[in-house]
């Protein structure tokens, strides 16, 4: 009975950890390619750029989308005033990214506890914990990948504020993006 319990706990931990990896992968993006596409869309079709920013919730796209909405709804054309409207909205929207990562890391910890608990139970019962050790090693690899991805996403938030947000301000100030027609 304890042997089956050790396998169930390990497999449950692996499932939770796989869910955490899936959540992290859904937020991750290739910043260089996204920056190029977004800046190109902001210069040629700003309304298309707005639609693009809705595709990756939980990433820096949220901040760009909020900045576009707020700056565009002001109806202003002065670049300084547009920047004064867009920067705080970007910063406020990107605060939620940290909370999303906090949830992902919570699931990662829960999965890691399940993996270690299953391995310790298997060792305590006296069974051969080969599957448990394989799952723990895979869990360590997944944790490393998640931490690297988290660091990249935090860096992308800063880069987007420096590289993409001025293009949003320029698109609004030049009149290419603003209040919806009608």
Contact 50, 128 (CB under 8 A): no
* Pairwise CA distance, residues 143 & 66, whole Å: 31
96-118 pLDDT, tens digit per residue, is 999 999 999 999 999 999 999 99
pLDDT at 180: 61
Contact 153, 27 (CB under 8 A): yes
pLDDT tens per residue, the chain (182 residues)?
Answer: 999 999 999 999 999 999 999 999 999 989 999 999 999 999 999 999 999 999 999 999 999 999 999 999 998 899 999 999 999 999 999 999 999 999 999 999 999 999 999 999 999 999 889 999 999 999 999 999 999 999 999 999 999 999 999 999 999 999 999 876 64
pLDDT at 130: 94
| CA distance readout (Å), 50 to 19, 45, 110, 177 | 29, 9, 36, 9
Closest CA to 140 of 4, 21, 2: 21
C-beta atoms surrounding 99 within 10 Å: 10
142-161 pLDDT, tens digit per residue, is 999 999 999 999 999 999 99
pLDDT at 181: 60
Q: Could you tell me the residue ranges of all domains in the chain?
A: 2-173
| CA distance readout (Å), 107 to 16, 26, 28, 152, 178 | 6, 15, 17, 19, 40
């Amino acid at each position: 009975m304890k042997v089956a319990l050790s396998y169930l706990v390990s497999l449950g931990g692996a499932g939770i950890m796989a869910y955490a990896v899936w959540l992290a992968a859904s937020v991750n993006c290739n910043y260089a390619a996204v920056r190029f596409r977004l800046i190109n869309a902001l210069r040629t079709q700003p309304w298309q750029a707005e639609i693009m920013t809705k595709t990756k919730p939980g990433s820096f796209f949220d901040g760009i989308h909020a900045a576009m909405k707020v700056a565009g709804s002001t109806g202003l054309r002065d670049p300084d005033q547009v920047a004064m409207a867009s920067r705080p909205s970007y910063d406020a929207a990107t605060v939620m990214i940290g909370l999303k990562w906090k949830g992902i890391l919570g699931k990662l910890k829960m999965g890691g506890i399940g993996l270690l608990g299953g391995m310790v139970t298997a060792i305590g019962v006296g069974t051969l914990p080969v599957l448990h050790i394989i799952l723990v090693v895979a869990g360590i690899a997944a944790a490393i990948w998640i931490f690297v991805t988290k660091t990249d996403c935090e860096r992308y938030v800063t880069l987007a504020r420096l590289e993409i947000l001025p293009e949003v301000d320029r698109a609004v100030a030049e009149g290419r993006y603003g209040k919806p027609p009608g």
